[in-house]
């Protein structure tokens, strides 16, 4: 680890600040450990000591990532927040897969989430977190009206972003058509559906479509779905947050598959 005064000529790779940096002890350490999302430089507070910080610095240096010791004031200036906990990292763009690359990594009975124009980064990160723990093998996002993978997404995923394969495509409808040809069922979450969630059969290869927070699944994509399902609800509020709805669908898929001897 070197002192911050030795930093010279840092190359900025992204204009948007939230895309450049991630911060917070857990998410930074998990990102460095995973070694998937390229780190351009690691900043550790000069008051931070202990085995976890030493491990983080050692792993970064093994991957030839510059590691700098920074004051609390400097870390806050870089992150533009005091919530960094003494850890920050400047990041390269997240390495999204192509659809073809994602499909090569799928197991025998895959489950995929398709996110249609999800715009809230906290929803996006929460969905990644739920997907990683509830039997989803990959996520597909579009490149229009879609929240970018940034510090907010990384933090709300609690590091799960480093372990969930994510593919980006310019045409989600074309992807849905390909999945149908590959034998997937494509299931949309829709509060307007008369079919309750528990009546769906998730034992076969499945793609679950989660729509935009305000407009739901686009009509073109919805028309390609084999099925749309709703979550039975009581009370006076008739809809759920996109991340909560996704978590419930993922849980039902996981529950059904845990009961199936073929899974």
The pLDDT of residue 14: 41
* 37/126 same-domain check: no
In this structure, are 10 and 126 located in the same domain? Answer: no
Count up the domains in the chain and report the number: 2
Verify that 247 and 162 share a domain, yes or no.
Answer: yes
Q: At what angle do helices 242-259 and 121-133 cross, to 10 degrees?
A: 10
Residue ranges of alpha helices (H) inside 119-182 are: 121-133, 151-156, 172-181
| Residue 240 confidence (pLDDT) | 87
Q: Which helix (H) or strand (E) holds 199?
A: none
Cα separation of 76 and 108, whole Å? 46
Kindly report, residue by residue over 190-214, the tens digit of the pLDDT: 988 999 999 999 999 999 999 999 8
Residue 145 has pLDDT above 80, yes or no: yes
pLDDT confidence tier of residue 221, bands split at 50, 70 and 90: very high
pLDDT tens string 48-105: 988 989 999 999 999 999 999 999 999 999 889 999 999 999 999 999 999 999 999 9
Is there a single domain that holds both residue 113 and residue 66?
Answer: no
> Domain holding 133: CATH number?
3.40.1280.10
Does position 11 have pLDDT exceeding 70, yes or no?
no
Kindly state whether residues 136 and 243 are assigned to the same domain.
Answer: yes
- Please give the Cα distance from 73 to 246 (Å, whole number): 39
Claim to verify: residue 75 and residue 199 sit in the same structural domain: no
Whether the pLDDT of residue 13 is over 60: the answer is: no
Tell me the pLDDT band of 131, cut-offs 50, 70 and 90.
Answer: very high
Q: What tens digit of pLDDT does each residue of 178-188 get? A: 999 999 999 99
Q: Within this chain, do residues 145 and 18 fall inside the same structural domain, yes or no?
A: no
Same domain membership, residue 115 and residue 66: no
* In the predicted structure, residue 238 carries a pLDDT above the cut 90: no
**How many residues belong to the chain?**
263
19-33, 121-135, 242-256: least confident range = 19-33
What φ, ψ does residue 154 adopt, rounded to 5°?
Answer: -60, -45
pLDDT of residue 234: 83
Task: Pick the last residue of a domain from 41, 56, 91.
Answer: 91
Return the pLDDT at 261. 62
Q: 9-14 long-range contacts, Cβ below 8 Å, gap at least 24?
A: 10/41, 10/90, 11/40, 13/40, 13/92, 13/93, 14/93
**Torsion from C-alpha of 156, 136, 255, 175, nearest 10 degrees:** 120
The answer on 157 and 66 residing in a single domain is: no
pTM of the predicted protein model: 0.89
Whether residues 251 and 125 share a domain: the answer is: yes
Of 216, 186, 181, give the one whose Cα is nearest residue 202.
186
Over residues 5-28, the mean pLDDT reads 64
Do 208 and 81 sit in the same domain of this protein?
A: no
Residue 17: pLDDT over 60: no
The boundaries of the domain holding residue 41 are: 2-91
Tokens of 8: 């010279």
Give the percent of the chain with pLDDT over 90. 81
Cα(246)–Cα(241) distance, integer angstroms: 9
CATH number (domain holding residue 32): 3.30.1330.30
Boundary residue ending a domain (64, 91, 118): 91
Looking at the structure, tell me whether residues 151 and 81 fall in a common domain. no
- Which among 91, 108, 139 is the end of a domain? 91
Alpha-carbon torsion, ordered 226, 204, 99, 217, to 10 deg: 30
């Amino acid at each position: 680890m070197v002192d911050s005064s030795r930093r010279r000529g840092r190359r900025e790779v992204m204009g948007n600040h939230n895309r450049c940096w991630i911060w917070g002890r857990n998410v930074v350490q998990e990102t460095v450990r995973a070694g998937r999302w390229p780190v351009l430089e690691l900043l550790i507070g000069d008051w931070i000591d202990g085995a976890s910080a030493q491990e983080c610095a050692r792993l970064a240096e093994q991957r030839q990532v510059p590691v700098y010791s920074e004051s609390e004031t400097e870390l806050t200036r870089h992150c533009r927040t005091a919530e960094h906990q003494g850890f920050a990292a400047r990041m390269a763009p997240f390495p999204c897969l192509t659809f073809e690359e994602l499909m090569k990594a799928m197991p025998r009975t895959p489950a995929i989430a398709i996110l249609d124009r999800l715009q809230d980064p906290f929803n996006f990160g929460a969905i990644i977190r739920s997907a990683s723990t509830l039997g989803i093998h990959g996520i597909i996002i579009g490149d229009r009206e879609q929240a970018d993978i940034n510090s907010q997404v990384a933090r709300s995923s609690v590091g799960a972003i480093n372990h969930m394969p994510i593919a980006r495509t310019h045409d989600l409808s074309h992807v849905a058509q390909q999945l149908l040809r590959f034998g997937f069922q494509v299931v949309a979450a829709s509060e307007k559906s008369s079919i309750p969630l528990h009546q769906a059969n998730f034992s076969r290869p499945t793609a679950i479509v989660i729509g935009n927070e305000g407009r739901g699944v686009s009509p073109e994509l919805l028309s390609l779905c084999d099925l749309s399902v709703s979550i039975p609800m009581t009370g006076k509020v008739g809809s759920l947050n996109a991340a909560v709805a996704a978590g419930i669908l993922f849980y039902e898929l996981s529950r059904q598959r845990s009961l199936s001897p073929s899974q």
